[in-house]
């Protein structure tokens, strides 16, 4: 065997143009549906009496600024054990309000909406949430270690089966971010839940002086299953993402089941706070 291997300098020409761009796509238009945003959220430290339910219509996907508010519906929530009715009055802007709601942790409530000759119903239980015990900023957590993130600290209760929804929104930003969590692998532990804004987004990461609003909700398992699909499908559809599906919530059309509503009737306890980032010398 001859042994001289000559390593010849290799000219490398790689034009690896892997990137993304915004394109025009033809899509289908599905049926218009009632959208029920019936979020009865009981903020810690309040009496939870003032509650709002919003009704809208769905629109074609690429339609901008067409929010179809639904007015003229009759909206009632009933406390199942006592039969007490809470009537939500039409504010004529798509919202329906009561100021006499009586939230009780662990109790079941029913929603009834009569609209356009059809009756929609839903049932859900008010789910508690543990307290946020601390909020702090750091850099070393998160996907990128050189940018700021906020950490929300709480202790998961000992009994397994707690589910969480987080909502983060930097003041001044257009859109909030939703995240979900369950305690399957972390039951009973103290948890530090971090949130950061990626460097490669169109908006800048957190800076000193930014204020971020934080909401932590206790949610039912059924709502967890629902919101998880909803969040996973936002901006997804890459090749390693799950095939997206039409997500059905818990609002049933009792008159015409085919014409089901989007949205959800949820009852949660929520801990709200906000955090102002400070200079950390970096």
34-43 and 262-276 strand pairing: parallel
Cβ within 8 Å of residue 89, ≥6 positions away = 96, 97, 98
For position 204 contacting another protein by CB under 8 A, the verdict is no
**Residue written as token pair 């009933």:** 78
Helix or strand run (H / E) with residue 108: strand 108-115
Query: Distance between CA atoms of 195 and 63, rounded to whole angstroms?
Result: 31
Q: Is residue 244 part of the contact set for another protein (CB under 8 A)?
A: yes
CB-wise, 117 or 245, nearer to another protein? Answer: 245
Q: What is the DSSP letter of 131?
A: P
Is there binding between residue 78 and another protein (CB under 8 A)? no
As given in the structure block, the two tokens for residue 99 are: 């100021």
Q: How far is the CB of 158 from another protein (least distance, A)?
A: 12
Residue closer to another protein (CB basis): 246 or 279: 246
Q: Rounded to the nearest whole angstrom, what is the least distance from the CB of residue 269 to another protein in the complex?
A: 17
Q: How far is the CB of 272 from another protein (least distance, A)?
A: 14
Q: Which of residues 84-123 bind another protein (CB under 8 A)?
A: none
Number of residues binding to another protein, judged by CB under 8 A: 89
Residues in 136-165 that interact with another protein by CB under 8 A: 141, 143-145
CA 240 to chain centre: 22
Using CA atoms, how far apart are residues 74 and 87, in angstroms rounded to an integer?
8
Q: Choose which of 106, 172, 200, 245 interacts with another protein (CB under 8 A).
A: 245
Minimal distance in Å, beta carbon 174 to another protein? 5
Q: CA distances (Å), 159 to each of 56, 196, 221, 253, in order?
A: 38, 29, 14, 35
Per-residue x/- track, 217-236, another protein (CB under 8 A): --------x--xxx--xxxx
Among 185, 200, 279, 282, binds another protein (CB under 8 A): 185
Q: How far is the CB of 184 from another protein (least distance, A)?
A: 8
């Amino acid at each position: 065997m001859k042994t001289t291997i000559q390593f010849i300098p290799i000219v490398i020409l790689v034009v690896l143009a892997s990137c993304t761009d915004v394109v025009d796509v033809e899509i289908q238009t599905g049926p218009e549906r009632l959208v029920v945003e019936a979020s009865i959220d009981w903020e810690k430290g309040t009496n939870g009496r003032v509650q709002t339910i919003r009704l809208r219509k769905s629109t074609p996907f690429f339609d901008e600024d067409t929010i179809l508010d639904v007015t003229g519906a009759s909206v009632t929530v009933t406390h199942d054990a006592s039969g007490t009715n809470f009537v939500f009055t039409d504010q004529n802007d798509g919202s329906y309000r009561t100021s006499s709601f009586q939230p009780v942790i662990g109790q079941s409530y029913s929603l009834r909406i009569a609209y356009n000759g059809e009756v929609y119903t839903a049932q859900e239980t008010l789910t508690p949430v543990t307290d946020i015990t601390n909020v702090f900023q750091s850099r070393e957590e998160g996907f990128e270690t050189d940018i700021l993130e906020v950490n929300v600290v709480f202790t998961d209760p000992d009994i397994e089966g707690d589910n969480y929804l987080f909502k983060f929104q930097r003041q001044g930003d257009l859109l909030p971010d939703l995240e979900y969590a369950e305690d399957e692998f972390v039951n009973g532990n103290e948890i530090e839940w971090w949130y950061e804004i990626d460097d490669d987004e169109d908006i800048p990461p957190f800076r000193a002086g930014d204020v971020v609003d934080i909401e932590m909700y206790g949610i039912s398992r059924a709502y967890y299953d629902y919101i998880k699909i909803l969040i996973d499908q936002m901006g997804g559809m890459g090749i390693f993402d799950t095939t997206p599906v039409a997500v059905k919530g818990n609002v049933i059309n009792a008159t015409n089941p085919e014409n089901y509503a989007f949205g959800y009737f949820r009852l949660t306890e929520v801990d709200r706070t906000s955090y102002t980032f400070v200079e950390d010398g970096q």
